[in-house]
A = this chain, B = another copy of it.
Amino acid sequence: MSSPSRSTPKQYEDPGPPADLSALLAPLSVAIVGASNDPTRIGGRPVHYYRQAGFSGALYPVNPNRDEVQGYKAYPDVASIPQAIDFALLAVPAERLIPSLEACADKGAKAAVIFTAGFAEIGEEGARRQEEIVAFARERGMRLLGPNCLGLFHAAHGHCPTFSSALEGGLAEPGRVGFITQSGAYGTHLLVMARERRIGVNYWISTGNEADIGVADCLDFLAADPDTDVIACYMEGVKNRPLFLQALARARAAGKVVCMMKVGVSPMGAQAAASHTASLAGADDIFQATMEEFGVERCETTEEMLDIVYAASRTRLPRGRKLGILTISGGAGVLMADAAHRHGLAVPPMPGAAQKALLETNPLASARNPVDITAHAINDFGLVGKNLESMLTDGGYDMLVSFFTSWPASPVNGPKLREALISGSQGHERVPHALVVCGPPETLAPYEDDGFILFDDPSRAVASLAALARIAERREADDDARPPALPEPVPVIPQGAIGEFEAKDILRGIGFPVLPERLAATRAEAVTAAREVGMPVAMKIVSPDIAHKTEIGGVALGVADEAAVGAAFDTIMQNAARKAPQARIEGVLISPMAGEGLELIVGARCDPVMGPAIMVGLGGIYVEVMRDVVLRRAPVSVARAQDMLGRLKGAALLDGVRGQPAVDRAAAAEAIARLSQFAALNDGRFESIEINPLLVRADGKGAVALDALITPASGMTEETDDA
């Protein structure tokens, strides 16, 4: 038996240096192999886009049939390029790929984008060819994006090795947002919609087959990139767990906003993802738990992701959850108050004195919160400024949402509204302020330039502010706690079937509380055992052939003294001999009575994609029927285990309801954290561990495992780990 892996999960360490993708993302000299003079063709579009973007580096189109491509001097082959190149774009047939890569490597290229399809996505033959190009690239120290991808752009650098049709309308406006997308076509759709929203996309990277560079590399790069504040990611599966976790840790440490759209959640979706990019989706609950752990905002829909990216890239994060609502429509005010409640924001009232002052100048208004200045404000825009100022100064709200419907579109009133908003906000520009408005884009853009964020749907405005508040809170959450240290040497989960006794022994070895128990083969042994574990005891027949111990009279509970233990032993053995004469009898198990308490189920499982996870749920029929379970990536600290307990829907049961006492949360949390560290150190060695139940007694009285089941990894091969 080898000793377990010593690796400690990455989030507790400083991440290493970030992925160096500078040759890929910011090259100074670029070769386009397969360049076309026709700007609508795959090999022609990038040339067109480079020109549009005003790329300031050297651009070398390679085309054996032309001297010039779209106004650039063309070269018959890569070897003819007069200077060294950093980067190559390859739009060539699959069979010409390796020679082209070789020529580019010879010219010094350190990175390449490969548009070419027909690799891993089409089956085994393609996968073999893909391995060949990766092997070649590794040998020559070249990084690859693709194959079968739509390329990328880096707007500030004018670098556009992509044939995505989204750039036909020009690059997005300047900004500090990076998009990473595993799907090229869907990434294009995202980009078109992002541009419509005026989201400043600086990087857009489509990773395609991810033969070399994947989402994790790009995420790690952008997490370290000084020009990026907000990262939006569309992915179908995680291919490089350590790098992915490192990137998430780096982004968190750098205070960046990461929005994640991970699909393949449903059975049909997971199947489609597998056939699409050969990505393994993994279980979604553990992916979701990982996102929460790193403060990543998980987005279910495109619209939700773009809303949050838009908001995060155009305004600051709020300091808290207090929302002020300003409206010219009472109905919209009610609607936004409802939305705030739904999204967990507070809508506290304005201070009484401030309400009074506002009502004096506008008696028909409601000054509480929502502050409804009514549509009559159109006759006096001073009211807008005055109320806004009072909400910011007297109300002290962390963020504001204001409803002005189509007022900005009015040539007369639009400028007045804008002036009132600016003057009313003076000195409070750090407070995020969403305007709910509609109208032609050109009438709305000035408000965005003033620092407001704009929505036409009031519920989406509130939801986006709530997301910003959530992101800010997660950023504050302490994540530095370590799991408890386990006694050395930490047990290694063996191969093959593990019995209940062995499982409990392993748990005792990590300091997990397990009821002491003794197997007694004789009456005398039974009495000694009862004395050792402490009376009253529970006594149970042990036989591989007896499933229903109670039915054959094989169980005695609450046996209180030595004489009774001896008598009970005899009775149990006689019952067994009479009712199950064929059964192999191993003896009688003696354990102390567990006492009263609340039953939890505590477990661990090893996800093929995200690794070991720890879970806790309410025991018995609760967990079976209500699925009230909380899950985290292993290991967790005791503090995080406490947090997990608090997140159970039935957490109130831990505090005692209907006259029950509060239970020993601290003991339960300690047990959970220990098991999580054990699971983390046995990554890959087990399929699942289940403690059902963990009996948690009244506060101060501890917790104890009454049953334990460890299922080793199926098909695990003995490691030759000599560490």
Contact = CB atoms under 8 A, between A and B. Distances in A.
Interface of A: 117, 121-122, 165-166, 181-189, 192-193, 196, 234, 236, 261, 263-269, 271-273, 275-277, 300-303, 328-335, 337-342, 347, 363-364, 366, 368-370, 372, 375, 403, 405-406, 410, 436, 438, 456-460, 620-621, 624-626, 628, 649-650, 652-653, 657-658
Nearest to A330: B276
Given A405-B188, A658-B624, A334 B236 contact: yes
A340 B269 CA distance: 9
B624 A626 contact: no
Contacts of A458: 302
A657 B334 contact: no
Nearest to A234: B331
B625 A340 contact: no
Nearest to A40: B412
A330 B303 CA distance: 19
Given A301-B459, A375-B185, A405-B192, A347 B658 contact: no
A189 B338 CA distance: 18
A184 B331 CA distance: 8
25 contacts: A183-B330, A184-B331, A185-B329, A185-B375, A185-B405, A186-B329, A189-B436, A189-B438, A263-B331, A263-B334, A265-B342, A266-B342, A268-B338, A268-B369, A272-B366, A272-B370, A272-B372, A276-B366, A302-B457, A302-B458, A302-B459, A303-B459, A624-B657, A624-B658, A625-B652
A363 B187 CA distance: 24
A506 to B, nearest CB: 27
Contacts of A375: 184-185
Contacts of A620: 658
Contact of A649 (B330, B337, B626): B626
A334 B625 contact: no
A575 to B, nearest CB: 21
Contact of A269 (B181, B303, B335, B456): B335
Contacts of A265: 338, 341-342
Contact of A268 (B182, B341, B363, B628): B341
A329 B189 contact: yes
Contacts of A649: 625-626
B183 A272 contact: no
Contacts of A329: 183-186, 189
A588 B271 CA distance: 66
Nearest to A121: B364
A182 B335 CA distance: 12
A652 to B, nearest CB: 5
Contacts of A368: 271-272, 275
B189 A268 contact: no
A93 to B, nearest CB: 15
Contact of A456 (B193, B457, B621): B193
Contact of A331 (B196, B276, B438): B276
Contact of A189 (B271, B366, B406): B406
Contacts of A436: 189
A17 to B, nearest CB: 31
Given A185-B375, A366-B276, A268 B337 contact: yes
A72 to B, nearest CB: 25
A19 to B, nearest CB: 23
Nearest to A274: B334
Nearest to A332: B186
A236 B338 CA distance: 11
| Chain A, interface SS category | helix
A652 B622 CA distance: 11
A339 to B, nearest CB: 8
Nearest to A304: B459
Contact of A650 (B182, B363, B456, B626): B626
Contacts of A625: 649-650, 652-653, 657
A467 B560 CA distance: 64
A185 B375 CA distance: 8
A548 to B, nearest CB: 11
Nearest to A272: B334
Given A192-B438, A268-B337, A653-B625, A364 B405 contact: no
Contacts of A366: 272, 275-276
Given A186-B335, A277-B331, A625-B657, 6 more contacts: A182-B331, A188-B406, A193-B457, A266-B341, A620-B658, A625-B649
A160 to B, nearest CB: 18
A331 B186 contact: yes
A720 to B, nearest CB: 39
Interchain residue pairs A-B with the least CB separation, the first 9: A183-B331, A266-B341, A185-B329, A276-B330, A186-B331, A301-B459, A269-B338, A269-B337, A268-B337
Contact of A338 (B165, B266, B303, B342): B266
A276 B658 contact: no
Contacts of A624: 652, 657-658
A67 B591 CA distance: 104
A155 B624 CA distance: 56
A653 B331 contact: no
Contacts of A339: 301
A331 B302 CA distance: 12
A338 B338 CA distance: 28
A69 B337 CA distance: 43
Contacts of A330: 183, 185, 272-273, 275-277
Given A192-B405, A626-B650, A460 B337 contact: no
A340 B302 contact: no
A587 to B, nearest CB: 27
Given A276-B333, A332-B183, A301 B236 contact: no
Given A332-B186, A625-B657, A338 B263 contact: yes
Given A275-B368, A277-B330, A303-B457, A266 B183 contact: no
B273 A334 contact: yes
Contacts of A628: 626
Contacts of A457: 193, 301-303
Contacts of A331: 181-187, 234, 236, 263, 276-277
Contacts of A341: 265-269
A308 to B, nearest CB: 14
A368 to B, nearest CB: 7
A268 B347 contact: yes
A342 B337 CA distance: 26
Contacts of A269: 334-335, 337-338, 341
